């Protein structure tokens, strides 16, 4: 990993930990403590700034912002694996958000792009698939569905949420989450039902089926989290 990337990560972790609050040390100081050049530090800070984690003032100090009040959804991947360990609460939140948006996307897709239903039928999982293939097929399924909404914001929201969920892979403490998501990808019956609802332009059925499908994972994960 490039040096500026390492610095970015360490600063990010410190901010999410709460280790780093208020005013950051000066760029010159940070450069010295990290044993790096000031430019490397600046590039790291530029990325934090882009993520609305810090506020930079020429002449004044760079300050850490209140995360819940200022950060955007692109923080999800960091949140899910914050503090080095897996963060159950945040991940359930991501799944809830996904259920809400996914169901609405299904509705819009049924309204606007019924022809996508046929594509979705080609993206149903088989029993013979490996875990990796399963994940890829699942991602392709939802990508196609969301593309059918004809709405770039929905598409971007899917990207952001999937990035958040992919962060789970990096954490060994999250096996039950992975398992629950795999189980969801294997629910061929519901996935097919959803595809057919879209094909026949039935927004209400699409919404209902998607809600059921996506909420099942949430309860599965909740149960697994309670008895680990």
* CB atoms near residue 68 (< 10 Å): 6
Nearer to DNA, 43 or 150 (CB): 43
Quickly tell me which residue has 């059918």 as its tokens: 148
Least distance to DNA from the beta carbon of 137, Å? 29
* CB atoms near residue 155 (< 10 Å): 16
d(CA 27, CA 34): 10
114 makes contact, choosing from a second copy, DNA, none, with CB < 5 to 8 Å by partner type, with none
The dihedral sign for the CA sequence 139, 140, 143, 149: negative
Spatial CA neighbour of 64 closest among 45, 92, 41 = 45
Q: Using CB under 7 A, which of 10, 13, 42, 196 touches DNA?
A: 42
Q: Using CB under 7 A, which of 9, 10, 14, 27 touches DNA?
A: 27
The answer to whether residue 22 forms part of the interface with DNA (CB under 7 A) is no
Structure tokens at 144: 């196609």
Least distance to DNA from the beta carbon of 64, Å? 12
Least distance to DNA from the beta carbon of 31, Å? 7
Return the percent helix, strand and coil in the chain, to nearest 5: 75, 0, 25
Site stretch for DNA (CB under 7 A), options 24-32, 93-101, 161-169, 194-202: 24-32
Q: What does the chain come to in residues?
A: 228
Nearer to DNA, 38 or 212 (CB): 38
Spatial CB neighbours of 93, under 8 Å, sequence gap ≥ 6: none
d(CA 173, CA 60): 41
Binding mask 16-45 for a second copy (x = CB under 8 A): -----------------------x--xx--
Q: Using CB under 8 A, which of 6, 151, 173, 201 touches a second copy?
A: 151
Q: Using CB under 7 A, which of 15, 20, 24, 181 touches DNA?
A: 24
Residues forming the site for DNA (CB under 7 A): 2-5, 24, 26-29, 35-40, 42-43, 56-62
């Amino acid at each position: 990993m490039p040096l500026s990337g390492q610095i970015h990560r360490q600063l990010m972790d410190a901010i999410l930990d709460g280790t780093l609050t208020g005013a950051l040390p000066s760029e010159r100081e940070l450069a010295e403590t990290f044993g790096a050049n000031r430019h490397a530090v600046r590039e790291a800070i530029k990325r934090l700034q882009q993520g609305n984690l810090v506020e930079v003032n020429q002449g004044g100090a760079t300050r850490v912002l209140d995360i819940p009040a200022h950060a955007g959804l692109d923080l999800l991947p960091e949140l899910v694996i914050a503090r080095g360990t897996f963060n159950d609460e945040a991940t359930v939140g991501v799944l809830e958000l996904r259920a809400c948006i996914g169901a609405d996307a299904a509705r819009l897709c049924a309204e606007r792009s019924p022809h996508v239903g046929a594509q979705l039928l080609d993206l149903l999982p088989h029993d013979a698939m490996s875990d990796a293939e399963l994940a890829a097929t699942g991602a392709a399924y939802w990508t196609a569905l969301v593309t059918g909404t004809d709405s770039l914001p929905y598409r971007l929201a899917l990207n952001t949420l999937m990035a958040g969920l992919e962060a789970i892979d990096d954490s060994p403490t999250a096996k039950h989450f992975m398992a629950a998501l795999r189980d969801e990808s294997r629910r061929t019956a519901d996935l097919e039902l959803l595809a057919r609802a879209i094909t026949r332009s039935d927004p209400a059925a699409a919404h209902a089926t998607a809600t059921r499908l996506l909420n099942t994972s949430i309860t599965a994960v909740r149960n697994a989290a309670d008895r680990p």
